[in-house]
Structure 1
Amino acid sequence: MPAFSLEPSQTARCAELRALAEERLRPLAEKGEPGRVNRPLVAELGRLGLLERLFTSGALDLCLMRESLAQACTEAETALALQGLGAHPVHAHGTPAQRERWLPAVSEGSAVAAFALSEPGAGSDAAALGLRAEGEPVGPIGTPGVRAEGEQVGRGASARPVAVPDGASRWRLTGEKCWISNAPEADFYTVFARTTPGAGARGVTAFLVPADRPGLTGTALDMLSPHPIGALAFDAVPVSADDVLGEVDRGFRVAMGTLNLFRPSVGAFAVGMAQAALEATLAHTARRDAFGGKLRDLQSVAHTVAEMALRTDAARLMVYAAATAYDEGAPDVPKRAAMAKLLATETAQYVVDTAVQLHGARALQRGHLLEHLYREVRAPRIYEGASEVQRGIIAKELYADVEVS
Structure 2
Amino acid sequence: MTAFSLDPEQIARCAELRTLAAERLRPLAEKGEPGHVNRPLVAALGELGLLDALFEGRSEGGGAGAGPPGEASGALDLCLTRESLAYACTEAETAFALQGLGAHPVHAHGSPEQRERWLPPVRAGHAVAAFALSEPGAGSDAAALSLAAEPDASGGWRLTGEKCWISNAPEADFYSVFARTSPGAGARGVTAFLVPADRAGLTGTPLDMLSPHPIGALAFDGVRVGTEDVLGEVDRGFRVAMTTLNRFRPSVGAFAVGMAQSALDATLAHTAERTAFGGTLKDLQSVGHQVAEMATRTEAARLMVYAAAAAYDSEGPQSPGIARRAAMAKLIATETAQYVVDAAVQLHGARALRRGHLLEHLYREVRAPRIYEGASEVQRTIIAKELYAAHEEEPPA
* CA–CA distance in structure 2, aligned partners of residues 174 and 291 of structure 1: 65
The superposition leaves residues 202-223 of structure 1 with CA deviations (integer Å, 9 ceiling, x where unpaired) of 0000000000000000010000
Equivalent residues of 2:201, 2:220 under 8 A apart: yes
How far has the Cα of 1:2 moved from its partner? Answer: 5.5
* CA–CA distance in structure 1, aligned partners of residues 53 and 303 of structure 2: 22
Q: Look up the SS of the partner of 1:190 in the other structure.
A: strand
How far has the Cα of 1:137 moved from its partner? Answer: 2.4
Residue 50 of structure 1 corresponds to which residue in structure 2? 50
Residue 30 of structure 2 corresponds to which residue in structure 1? 30
Does residue 86 (structure 1) correspond to residue 72 (structure 2)? The answer is: no
* CA–CA distance in structure 2, aligned partners of residues 230 and 388 of structure 1: 23
Amino acid at match of 1:55: F
Residue 378 of structure 1 corresponds to which residue in structure 2? 367
Aligned-residue sequence identity (percent) comes to 82
Residue 105 of structure 1 corresponds to which residue in structure 2? 121
Matched residue pairs, number?
A: 375
Could you tell me which runs of 5 or more consecutive residues in structure 1 were left unpaired when the two chains were aligned.
139-168
Does residue 356 (structure 1) correspond to residue 345 (structure 2)? The answer is: yes
Could you tell me which runs of 5 or more consecutive residues in structure 2 were left unpaired when the two chains were aligned.
58-73
Residue 369 of structure 1 corresponds to which residue in structure 2? 358
Task: Give the alignment of 1:1-400 within 5 angstroms.
Answer: 4-56=4-56, 58-137=74-153, 169-329=155-315, 330-400=319-389
CA RMSD of aligned residues (A): 1.1
* CA–CA distance in structure 1, aligned partners of residues 129 and 2 of structure 2: 36
Amino acid at match of 2:333: A
The superposition leaves residues 8-48 of structure 1 with CA deviations (integer Å, 9 ceiling, x where unpaired) of 00000000000000110000000000010000000000001
* CA–CA distance in structure 1, aligned partners of residues 149 and 174 of structure 2: 17
* CA–CA distance in structure 1, aligned partners of residues 148 and 204 of structure 2: 17
Q: What TM-score results when the alignment is normalised by the length of structure 2?
A: 0.93
* CA–CA distance in structure 2, aligned partners of residues 331 and 49 of structure 1: 33
* CA–CA distance in structure 2, aligned partners of residues 170 and 15 of structure 1: 49
Q: Look up the SS of the partner of 2:175 in the other structure.
A: strand
* CA–CA distance in structure 2, aligned partners of residues 204 and 184 of structure 1: 23
Equivalent residues of 2:3, 2:306 under 8 A apart: no
How far has the Cα of 1:316 moved from its partner? Answer: 0.1
* CA–CA distance in structure 2, aligned partners of residues 256 and 403 of structure 1: 23
The superposition leaves residues 241-294 of structure 1 with CA deviations (integer Å, 9 ceiling, x where unpaired) of 000000000000000000000000000000000000000000000000101100
How far has the Cα of 1:56 moved from its partner? Answer: 1.4
How far has the Cα of 1:3 moved from its partner? Answer: 5.8
Equivalent residues of 2:342, 2:363 under 8 A apart: yes
* CA–CA distance in structure 1, aligned partners of residues 32 and 124 of structure 2: 19
Q: What TM-score results when the alignment is normalised by the length of structure 1?
A: 0.91
* CA–CA distance in structure 2, aligned partners of residues 398 and 201 of structure 1: 21
Q: Look up the SS of the partner of 2:392 in the other structure.
A: coil
Amino acid at match of 1:371: E
The superposition leaves residues 98-153 of structure 1 with CA deviations (integer Å, 9 ceiling, x where unpaired) of 00000000000000000000000000000000100000126xxxxxxxxxxxxxxx
Q: Look up the SS of the partner of 1:248 in the other structure.
A: coil
Amino acid at match of 1:288: R
- The runs of at least 4 aligned residues of structure 1 exceeding 3 Å deviation read none
* CA–CA distance in structure 2, aligned partners of residues 351 and 53 of structure 1: 28
